[in-house]
Amino acid sequence: MKRLLITTLIIGAAVVFIVGALHVTKSLARLETAAAQLVSDYAGATRIVSEKWQYLFVLLAALIVAWLSVSIAPRWRSRLLVGLLLVELFGLSWVCSLYRIFFQPIPSVLALIFALAIAEGWSVFLRRDRSHLVRTFFANRLSKNEFRRLREGTTRFDPQPKTYEISVVVCDIGNRLAFAEDSEPAAFAEVTAKFIRETAEHLVNEGAYLHAADGEGVVAIFGFPVPNTDHTQKAVRVVLDMIKNFRERRQDSGETVGKWGMRAGVSSGALIAGALKDTERPLLLAGGEPIDLARRFCALNNFYGSSALIDTPTFDRVNDTVVARPIDFVSGLNSHDRIEIYEPLWLAVEAKPERVARRDAFWNGVVLYREKRWAEAYSEFQKARASEDEDDPPLQFYLRRLEPLLLQLAEAPLA
């Protein structure tokens, strides 16, 4: 709003200067005389609108047109209003002549025309500059439809630094370091490149902004550059869908990527993003705690054996639509912070009652474990077991933790 007001004032001042210069130099004399004969009776007038009032009308006309033209109002609408103002100026001059008041419309008419021309020229320049920024920042990083809307101005992107509420998804190959050690460099590079390409393409097609895609994994942001209220729901849903697809590929084709699986981390919160244009090539800077946390959660999957981990803000937003279970508390970016992480399992509409029951047993086991009620926790974790064919690494993680503790209980002398 502030930039729009400043632009309007600058255009208004420029138009007043141009029209004033033309009037003082008598460049408008013939045109003003012709207009006076057409719509007014200068010879029969008893009063004349002074030049001070004329300049005030010029300024007001220029400001109104400039505001309409550089605002978000459609161009056809601003042009229509300018046309109506032109008619009204000549009509005002004619009405004034009926009361023997002479009002010269030409300076105000020229103010409308000049203001419209300057404002539209400025708007075209801004659109070209914005289009260049959109291509630089978002080409091949957004879906084709979203990129087209940004480029055409249907969806607006403000390059000024601001805060966005977003959800970050980080994806990587599970046990990537072990995979690199066990594979030939060429095979590792081929599989990694395929994983990055397919994962990045899928996330972009689902509406995410591709922040990074390299050997450290794929980072995608939902809710940016266009704010979206359901960004968290979409991020978690897409992650569950991708994990499901990888599992099916592992079962059906035995591909290397399917064999090693996919790991993901999701974090929701505030992101600060904006354009840095004081360089040879404009840069889009985007940073915030969710990016760092999502990277960390993605890596922590290798420790717990989970496929995906989300933080508490993400869990709170998807709890009604996603079945998830608590995993552990971990330190945040600040060593004093403690973050509870959860593993999303299924969409609520796809979760069978027996799956929900196992999730509840696992949840009870985690609570009892934190309360150091080892035997009761072990009993609940046993209830959370699935069939022999279904692997559950996080459950095995807790059972391994409990084994030495239960052994100590068994060996401890009775009081």
Q: Which of 316, 314, 311 is nearest to 328 (CA)?
A: 311
- For 199-236, give one letter per residue: b (16+ CB within 10 A) or e: bbebbbebbbbbbbbeeebbbbbbbbbbebeebbbbbb
Q: Report, in this order, helix, strand and coil percent for the chain, each rounded to 5.
A: 60, 15, 25
Query: What is the reported pLDDT for 142?
Result: 93
Residue 329 and residue 338 in contact, taking contact as beta carbons nearer than 8 Å: yes
Residue 128 lies in a domain: yes
Residue 151 lies in a domain: no
pTM over 0.85: no
Q: Quote the distance between the C-alpha of residue 181 and its chain's center.
A: 38
Which alpha helices (H) appear in 99-224, and where do they start and end? Answer: 106-138, 144-152, 176-182, 185-205
246 and 382 inside one domain? no
Question: Which two structure tokens, joined as six digits, stand for 93?
Answer: 């001059």
Which of 93, 121, 136 is where one domain is finished? Answer: 136
Residue 261 lies in a domain: yes
165 and 250 inside one domain? yes
49 and 164 inside one domain? no
Could you tell me the CA-to-CA distances from 218 to 7, 67, 194, 213, 313 in Å, in that order?
41, 43, 12, 4, 21
313 and 363 inside one domain? no
397 and 296 inside one domain? no
81 and 38 inside one domain? yes
209-214 and 217-222 beta bridge pairing: antiparallel
Could you tell me the CA-to-CA distances from 335 to 267, 278, 330, 352 in Å, in that order?
18, 35, 10, 39
**Domain harbouring 337, CATH code:** 3.30.70.1230
Query: What is the reported pLDDT for 48?
Result: 72
Q: Taking the CA of residue 390 as centre, how many other CA atoms within 13 Å lie in the half-sphere pointing to its CB? A: 8
Query: What is the reported pLDDT for 257?
Result: 45
Please state the domain count of the chain.
3
Question: Which two structure tokens, joined as six digits, stand for 185?
Answer: 């460099």
Instruction: Give, for all 415 residues of the chain, the pLDDT tens digit.
Output: 566 677 777 777 777 778 777 766 777 667 766 766 666 665 566 677 766 777 777 777 777 777 776 665 556 666 777 777 777 777 777 777 777 776 777 777 777 777 777 776 766 555 555 666 778 788 889 999 998 888 777 787 888 889 999 999 999 988 776 666 667 788 888 888 989 999 999 999 999 999 999 888 999 999 999 888 999 999 999 999 999 988 887 666 555 444 567 899 999 999 999 887 665 667 888 999 999 999 999 999 999 999 999 999 999 999 999 999 999 999 877 767 889 999 999 999 999 999 999 999 999 999 999 999 999 999 999 999 887 667 899 999 999 999 888 888 777 665 4
398 and 329 inside one domain? no
Residue 155 lies in a domain: no
As to burial, measured by CB atoms within 10 angstroms (0-12 exposed, 13-18 middle, 19+ buried), residue 139 is exposed
Residue 246 lies in a domain: yes
Residue 284 lies in a domain: yes
Residue 112 lies in a domain: yes
Q: Which of 266, 234, 138, 246 is nearest to 198 (CA)?
A: 246
Residue 143 lies in a domain: no
324 and 219 inside one domain? yes
């933080």: which residue's tokens? 311
CA 78/CA 11 separation, integer angstroms: 16
Which of 103, 136, 169 is where one domain is finished? Answer: 136
253 and 180 inside one domain? yes
61 and 196 inside one domain? no
Q: Quote the distance between the C-alpha of residue 159 and its chain's center.
A: 12
169 and 288 inside one domain? yes
330 and 369 inside one domain? no
Query: What is the reported pLDDT for 256?
Result: 45
Which of 333, 351, 369 is where one domain is finished? Answer: 351
Query: What is the reported pLDDT for 354?
Result: 92
Q: Provide the domain limits for residue 405.
A: 359-415
